[in-house]
């Protein structure tokens, strides 16, 4: 297949690109606007592969998206491009509505027009896989229930509301136009190449520098944690085996309080990075509590039974094994982290982008 992947320079998107190039015979067309979260250094290992193509394109630009479809003639779409940081959505919701909803609309329309003109065999094989979040379901506070695919949406933040809106658009293009769509909703991802504004990489890097480890509120918020490489295996499984029109929840079976996550990070750092910054006796001493953010959901929990029963996917990593790998990766890749922290990854990416294009 030739897979058009949007947001392929982001955290999950780059993991999908690496997985496809390393483990399949498929081709990848990476479409990414390269906002602050797009990091081409996360894809250096695939640049030399003749099956990898890069297009710096805003998914909200209809003419450019149509050009990409016409030029590359993909067999399917994996749509991961999104604004995804909740705190940023509270401060600037407009970008989230534009990218997550308008951008999804543009991709759906371009896909529909492209798909409608394909030969019969191409139409039969084509898929539009929209990758979403468990946050669309809202909050499970006071309940022992889990998110299931049939649950009504109740988003709490501008981010989750914009993703919920995108999910509804995707389903409506299936119901109204017959576009062969798939939707997956995942729990919190973690692993290598994660942008340092997110909880786990932020805690690791702050601890290594002897900075405070800020935890919202009481730290009792519960999330289900999914190792990113488990997630991308699930995404490829949904793309290749999923039933058109269906949704699949993807979770790691790892419910943890935020404070437990941070304490686990400190535990692994004590083992893997025993030489602490000056003045730090124990990494846990750096934990601090800060004012909770507005509309903070207390508990998310995924029931991933459907994808296991119907498609045979189960996560391979426990939270402990995945977190150990993650902490070790950040210890072994300080230069990648430094380039993100000082912003040099953005200054250097033009050369990487040109290098990627010149090889084609």
Please give the positions annotated as active site: 134-135, 159
Vertex 346: Cα angle to 342 and 349 (nearest 5): 135
d(CA 113, CA 66): 9
The whole-angstrom separation of Cα 308 and Cα 298 is 26
User: Other C-beta atoms within 10 Å of 244: how many?
Assistant: 13
Would you state the torsion angle of the CA atoms of residues 189, 192, 197, 203, taken in this order, to the nearest 10 degrees?
A: 90
Separation between Cα atoms, residue 24 and residue 92, nearest integer Å: 39
Residue 173 sits at the vertex; the CA angle it makes with 172 and 178, to the nearest 5 degrees, is 115
């Amino acid at each position: 297949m030739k897979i058009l992947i949007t947001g392929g320079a982001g955290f999950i998107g780059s993991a999908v690109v690496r997985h496809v190039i390393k483990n399949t015979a498929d081709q990848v067309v990476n479409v990414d606007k390269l906002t602050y979260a797009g990091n081409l250094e996360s894809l250096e290992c695939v640049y030399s592969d003749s099956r990898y193509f890069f297009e710096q394109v805003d998914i909200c630009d209809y003419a450019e998206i149509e050009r990409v479809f016409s030029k590359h003639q993909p067999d399917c779409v994996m749509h991961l491009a999104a604004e995804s940081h909740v705190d940023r959505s509270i401060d600037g919701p407009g970008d989230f509505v534009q990218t997550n909803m308008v951008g999804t609309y543009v991709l759906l329309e371009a896909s529909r027009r492209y798909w409608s003109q394909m030969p019969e065999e191409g139409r039969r094989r084509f898929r539009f896989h929209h990758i979403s979040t468990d946050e669309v379901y809202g909050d499970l506070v006071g309940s022992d229930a889990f998110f299931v695919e049939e649950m009504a949406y109740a988003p709490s933040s501008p981010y989750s509301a914009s993703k919920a809106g995108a999910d509804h658009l995707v389903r409506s293009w299936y119901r109204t136009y017959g576009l062969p769509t798939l939707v997956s909703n995942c729990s919190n991802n973690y692993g290598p190449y994660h942008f340092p504004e997110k909880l786990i990489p932020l805690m690791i890097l702050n601890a290594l520098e002897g900075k405070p480890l800020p935890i919202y509120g009481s730290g009792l918020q519960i999330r289900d944690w999914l190792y990113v490489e488990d997630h991308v295996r699930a995404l490829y499984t949904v793309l290749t085996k999923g039933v058109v029109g269906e949704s699949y929840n993807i979770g790691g079976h790892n419910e943890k309080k935020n404070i437990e996550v941070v304490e686990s990070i400190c535990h692994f750092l004590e083992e893997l990075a025993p030489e602490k910054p000056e003045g730090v006796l124990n990494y846990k001493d750096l934990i601090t509590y800060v004012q909770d953010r507005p509309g903070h959901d207390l508990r998310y929990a995924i029931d991933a039974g459907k994808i296991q029963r119907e498609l045979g996917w189960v996560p391979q990593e426990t939270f402990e094994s995945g977190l150990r790998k993650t902490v070790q990766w950040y210890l072994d890749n300080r230069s990648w982290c430094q380039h993100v922290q000082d912003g040099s990854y953005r200054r250097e990416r033009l050369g990487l982008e040109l290098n990627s294009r010149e090889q084609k």
